[in-house]
Structure 1
């Protein structure tokens, strides 16, 4: 047996390649109901940066330089 025949014997043909139902409506529903979630740590970081800028206004330039 050559390599091609060995591969065909080891890997039987795949049957039923089509999904049993249309997957697009479920995907569309999932995309439509997806909302943007911002973790609480991100809000805390934003609040800390704004507080830092309010307390030390000159540091805003240094912060913007590093961004």
Structure 2
């Protein structure tokens, strides 16, 4: 229970610190840059996921076609 309390206090402290930093123009710019980097990272991960999904779908379709040919 003590660990949960520390976690919640740390989380709340982080939000308060981010709010205070965001009020300063330099801090706002720094947080905007961090946000842009996170967005770029998540976009790249999403693109890689969709590429892998398309590759697996292609393999599954070719296996399905091969199974259908063998069944006929």
The structure having more radius of gyration, on CA atoms, is 1
Give the number of the structure whose residues are more often helix, by fraction: 2
Structure 1-normalised TM-score? 0.36
Structure 2-normalised TM-score? 0.35
